[in-house]
Amino acid sequence: MTAAAMDVLLSGQLLFAAAVAGALYALVAIGLNLVYGTMRLLNVAHGDVVMIGAYATYWCFSLLGLSPLLSLVLSAAAAALVGGALYLGLFRRLVAERRTARRLEANSLLLFFGISVIVQNLAAFAFSATPRGYQFLDMVWRIGDVFVTGNRLLALAIALTACIGVWLFLRFHILGLAIKALIQSRDAAAVVGIDTDRVQLTAFGLGFALAAIAGCLISMTEQISPFMGFPFTIAAFVVVILGGLGNLTGGIIAGFILGAIETYGVALTSPSLRSILLYAVFVGILMLRPQGLLGGARLFR
Amino acid sequence: MRARWLDIALALSFLAVAGLPFYAGDYAVGVGLSFLMWVALTQSWTVLSGLTGYVSIGHVVFYGLGAYVVVLLGTGLPLLVSLPLAGAAAFTFAMLIGYPVLRVRGPYFVILTFGLAELVKYGVIALESYLGKFSRIMFGGPSLQTLFGVMLVLAGLATALAWLVRRSRFGHGLMAIRENEEAAETIGIPIARFKLLAFALSSIVPGMVGGTMVLRSSYFEPVPAFDPMISLTMVTMAIIGGSDDIRGPILGAGLLVLVSEFLWARAPQVYMIIIGLLLIAFVLFAPGGVCGRLLRQRA
Amino acid sequence: MTTLLEIRHLTKSFGGVHALDNVSLSLAEGMIMGLMGANGAGKTTLFGIVAGHLRPTSGDVRYRGTSIVALRPDQICRRGICRTFQIVRPFSGLSVRQSVATAALFGAEPAATMRAASERAEQILDLIGLGDRADTPAEELTLSAQKKLEVARALATGCRLLLLDEVLAGCTAAEVTEMLDVLRRIHRERSLTILIIEHVMRALMRFADRIAVLHHGELIAEGTPAQIAEDPRVHDAYLGSTP
């Protein structure tokens, strides 16, 4: 490796880029982790919630002139409501019936795929497939040797704040503790008197809200399109598998690892290899850990 | 009784489709070709996903690889050489990746197949741009009527394969794996080998279909050749028609090809939304598909 | 009598905990061996190793004189050993007949044709008392009928050594009596060798020729039911040691 390439790799510039990507991945993954952990439902439409959050912010900004910081709060609240409604309307029944229909496990994924296809194409129909973007806080600041744009710095700060907020919630709030208990063991949680229904509702709402927040932040820094969601779903899977089910600290670390793999991998090769890198990590991880999110739980009784 | 009428109806429709080149224009032959293509793809898909319960939503990977192989071979070779090579390439790829992929179960397998197909797609994109190609054009491919004949054979092959496997000892082993993998292993079924073989068998015809379709469109680009919507359409057709019976994929393909003729050109997004809605509706309310409903025979 | 199964110095540890600790045991052809022990004593681990689901940390399992510890479950089944599961694992979507016929197509004595498999399934279902439920979906059976189905499926593979994992658990007293009758009948008619894990101690005392007792992974006693009933170590293990 040449000395010049070495300098690029060690620069604060790349470190900053990796940190922004990592924080966003961690944030997206928390929602997937919560929903899968509490309900064992693999939501492959999770990335589409990110996409919706991004579009909501975009339209609020370009039509109403609303600051993304305001629409962040609004779309998080809206996404929480949508998530809650979806839970109450569809998935509560699905989870309750799961014991009777065992083949539903693979099929539930087909349901989410159906939902994902519908949402993406509705978005393409309504907003057209053209990528969009807007300018917000795009002035460049210099911190030491590193040049950062305001929107990236803000995205990093908000994503980290949200991650820490969820971490504190799970650690200290009674509902957060209940979510953790449910992730550990559904049956035991019910036995010790946890209202699983309410906990799952919270997990669903919170998961959707976090995905929408991530969407807002992404829309400030990148171009958005109706089909941008799926790579985020994949990234979230990678983060959850690496970090461990129900393990937020692990998830945040894994988010940064993935952000670093992606940023440095692209810097070492070329930007066109970004997707290959993401999918290769995903495929590799599932092949190495075939039991997926559940860890080493393939016991014979 | 219903089964008898269904068979007669299917046989008559088959004759009507097979004879298209003799009495209909290019447009109708094109629609017939696309119907036969979906029959071939969906029947092959059921050999893996219908019988073992390992639902693949990345089967387009074999289609795309077959297309790529044929485009690399060029039009100089006769179809009888290039198409089997496309099938062999898909088969080889399936055998190579099958073992680690099939250790992954349930929903993880489903999403892994998708990720794998995307990985191969981006791999081919990178390879092509490294080679300095952005799309490849093929001149002097066979006529539409020839390709129709080829696709008729492929649809027949896939249907025959699905029928034979379903009746064989091997097929019963696959169904046991679907119903309970640990129990299947306990009664002496070599599950890893069976799953691998089903995976590889289900890849051959899609590879050849991909090779045929690239001759039809006479150009190759990785993005449409590895379009995930092709996988999704296979799954939806199998679920709509019912994958417990070889008649299911034929019914499912017929229904969706009709819908697509009305909508695909005019409103592709509406078509995709309808596919999504149909998939959800059938998974939730009629897991046996149209065929299961018509025949009411729970396996 | 010839030795069918020989377990030699078997040890299995899970991250430092000995689930099995130097266990040796041998089964003569045609005998019924009972395996007793509290929860966590290592009974199911022992089954898992014999049936090929687990690899031992050390030690050997020999069936008809050859080692089988390196084989997969399906290979072991084709040699003639088949197990049932404590938590039943039915082929959910298949009927009772299809479940058993599928087992007859594979295993140690695969049926030559579908028809032969189906006929063997009918015979076994009649023998085991599920003949009238042949067309019922497997998952709709009662628990005790599902346990019978587990036994029927194992028999259909043509096994010579049958490993039964708590087939009486969850059955009523009447069902226990019935199941033991069925098991005696198949033992007699098919001259099988049986290794059975059971919590229902009284049933085991009546049913088994010999009994082995595991405690914290160690084999603490092995003998006839009468000897086991008298053994002070077994009493200690079950009732708590007296100083």
Q: How far apart are CA B166 and CA B248, in angstroms?
A: 13
How far B157 CA lies from chain A's nearest CA (Å)? Answer: 28
> For the residues A137-162, what does the mean pLDDT come to?
82
Residues C31-55: tens digit of each pLDDT: 999 998 888 888 889 999 999 999 9
B74 interfaces chain A, CB cutoff of 8 Å: no
Pairing of strands C32-36, C17-28: unpaired
Residue of C14, C53, C55, C94 to mutate, testing the A interface (most A Cβ within 10 Å of its Cβ): C53
Residue A147's SS3 state is strand
At A7, the pLDDT band (50, 70, 90 cuts) reads low
When CB atoms are compared, the residue of C73, C92, C108 closest to B186 is C73
> For the residues A32-56, what does the mean pLDDT come to?
89
Instruction: Name the helix (H) or strand (E) containing B219.
Output: strand B219-220
Among the residue ranges A93-97, B5-9, B46-50, the one predicted with the least confidence is: A93-97
pLDDT at A98 over 60: no
pLDDT at C115 over 70: yes
When CB atoms are compared, the residue of A102, A103, A301 closest to C44 is A301
Q: Are the beta carbons of A301 and C85 separated by less than 8 Å?
A: yes
B127 interfaces chain A, CB cutoff of 8 Å: no
| pLDDT of B195 | 97
Contacts of C168 (CB under 8 A, 6+ apart): C147, C175, C176, C179, C180, C198, C199, C200, C203
Please state, in angstroms and as integers, the Cα–Cα distance from residue B206 to each residue in B41, B79, C166, following that order. Answer: 5, 15, 47
When CB atoms are compared, the residue of B178, B187, B298 closest to C77 is B187
At A8, the pLDDT band (50, 70, 90 cuts) reads low
* pTM for the predicted model, two decimal places: 0.90
> For the residues B255-264, what does the mean pLDDT come to?
86
| pLDDT of C66 | 94
Please state, in angstroms and as integers, the Cα–Cα distance from residue C69 to each residue in A33, A174, A206, B106, C82, following that order. Answer: 39, 49, 49, 29, 15
Nearest Cα neighbor of C64 from C52, C48, C49, C81 is C81
A298 interfaces chain C, CB cutoff of 8 Å: no
Q: How far apart are CA A168 and CA A195, in angstroms?
A: 21
At A6, the pLDDT band (50, 70, 90 cuts) reads low
Most confident of A12-16, A291-295, B96-100: B96-100
DSSP string, C127-150: HHT-GGGTTSBGGGS-HHHHHHHH
| pLDDT of A293 | 60
Contacts of B34 (CB under 8 A, 6+ apart): B257, B260
| pLDDT of A301 | 27
Phi, psi of A146 (to 5 degrees): -100, 135
The proportion of chain C whose per-residue pLDDT surpasses 70, expressed as a percent, equals 98
DSSP string, B245-266: STHHHHHHHHHHHHHHHHHTTT
Find the closest chain B residue to A282 by CA distance. Answer: B115
pLDDT at A160 over 70: yes
| pLDDT of A297 | 37
Those of residues 66-85 in A touching chain C at CB distance below 8 A are none
Those of residues 128-157 in A touching chain C at CB distance below 8 A are none
> For the residues A250-265, what does the mean pLDDT come to?
90
| pLDDT of B299 | 39
When CB atoms are compared, the residue of A109, A111, A283 closest to B115 is A283
Nearest Cα neighbor of A226 from A44, A29, A63, A52 is A52
Please state, in angstroms and as integers, the Cα–Cα distance from residue A234 to each residue in A26, A237, A286, B108, C61, following that order. Answer: 12, 5, 11, 12, 44
Among the residue ranges A136-145, C50-59, C91-100, the one predicted with the least confidence is: A136-145
| pLDDT of A280 | 93
Find the closest chain C residue to B168 by CA distance. Answer: C114
> For the residues C110-116, what does the mean pLDDT come to?
93
| pLDDT of A291 | 67
Q: Are the beta carbons of C92 and B180 separated by less than 8 Å?
A: yes
When CB atoms are compared, the residue of C44, C87, C92 closest to A102 is C92
| pLDDT of A112 | 87
Q: How far apart are CA A103 and CA A109, in angstroms?
A: 11
At A106, the pLDDT band (50, 70, 90 cuts) reads low
| pLDDT of B91 | 98
The proportion of chain A whose per-residue pLDDT surpasses 70, expressed as a percent, equals 89
Q: How far apart are CA B129 and CA C95, in angstroms?
A: 54
Residues B195-254: tens digit of each pLDDT: 999 999 999 999 999 999 999 998 899 999 999 999 999 999 999 998 888 999 999 999
Residues B61-90: tens digit of each pLDDT: 999 999 999 999 987 888 999 999 999 999
How far is C-alpha B280 from the chain's CA centre?
Answer: 20
| pLDDT of B49 | 94
Contacts of B167 in chain C (CB under 8 A): 114
How high is the ipTM of this complex? 0.91
| pLDDT of A295 | 47
B138 interfaces chain A, CB cutoff of 8 Å: no
Q: Are the beta carbons of A42 and B107 separated by less than 8 Å?
A: yes
Residues B158-183: tens digit of each pLDDT: 999 999 999 999 999 999 999 999 99
pLDDT at A102 over 80: no
pLDDT at A296 over 70: no
Q: How far apart are CA A234 and CA A215, in angstroms?
A: 15
Contacts of C90 in chain B (CB under 8 A): 179-180, 183
B137 interfaces chain A, CB cutoff of 8 Å: no
Q: How far apart are CA C79 and CA C157, in angstroms?
A: 10
| pLDDT of B94 | 97
Instruction: Name the helix (H) or strand (E) containing C125.
Output: helix C114-128
> For the residues B7-35, what does the mean pLDDT come to?
92
Q: Are the beta carbons of B277 and A114 separated by less than 8 Å?
A: yes
| pLDDT of A294 | 54
Identify whether the C-beta of residue B189 lies closer than 8 Å to the C-beta of residue B176. Answer: yes
At B1, the pLDDT band (50, 70, 90 cuts) reads low
Contacts of A298 in chain C (CB under 8 A): none
| pLDDT of A99 | 47
| pLDDT of A299 | 32
Contacts of A109 in chain B (CB under 8 A): 55, 107, 110-111
First to last CA, chain C: 41
How far C167 CA lies from chain A's nearest CA (Å)? Answer: 13
Find the closest chain A residue to C83 by CA distance. Answer: A301
Q: Which long-range contacts (CB under 8 A, 24 or more apart) does C121-125 make?
A: C121/C97, C121/C152, C121/C156, C122/C97, C124/C100, C124/C152, C124/C155, C124/C156, C125/C96, C125/C97, C125/C100, C125/C152
> For the residues A8-23, what does the mean pLDDT come to?
83
| pLDDT of B102 | 95
How far A301 CA lies from chain C's nearest CA (Å)? Answer: 7
pLDDT at A100 over 50: no
| pLDDT of A181 | 82
- Treating both helix axes as pointing N-terminal to C-terminal, what angle do B268-285 and A104-127 enclose, rounded to 10 degrees? 160
